[in-house]
Amino acid sequence: MLNILKIPLQKIRKNSEQDLAKAAIRGDSDAFSELIKIHKASLYKIAYSYVKDEQKALDILQETVYKGLINIEKLKEAKYFKTWITKILINTSIDYSKKEEKIVYIEETILSEDHKNISIEDKLDLYDAIDMLSDNYKMVIILKYFNDMTDEQIAKNMDIPINTVKSHLRRAKEKIKQILKDGDL
């Protein structure tokens, strides 16, 4: 009985994300399902930020889950499951947006509280300016400011060096300022 009490709490927890990912890599579809349930809200939010439509975001999420399930054995390290599935989702979202040839608008409700006092026209101008960015710049802006990811998380998701993330962010902000200043909208 005393030995049981000495086991750290983390070891008692059977279905940690990493254990689930390892099981999923070995072919356990139930473990994969559990992982998707854990991350579905975050994945949906990213998909929605690309297409601004509930049904399309759900379609993207469904396609991402399908692609993930088929390719789960390609995941090298279980601890990177969320990064891996997010990368699949982002690529699926970009492909879907290109296929639909629609403009990507940033969801108004995910702006931080200090942006609530900005007029609707100014927000729309900002969204339009973000839409005018190249895909790489747009992606870092969305991940950083609308999904609250750190530079390190963005680098992992986009599979680029962290300094590239920082330069993309700096250049994207400069480009947005220039677009808004020049009134290119």
Q: For residue 123, what are the contacts with CB-CB under 8 A and spacing of at least 6?
A: 108, 111, 115
pLDDT score for 94: 85
pLDDT top residue among 121 and 46: 46
Residue 147 has a pLDDT of 80
The confidence band for 117, taking pLDDT boundaries of 50, 70 and 90, is low
Per-residue pLDDT tens over the stretch 158-173:
889 999 999 999 999 8
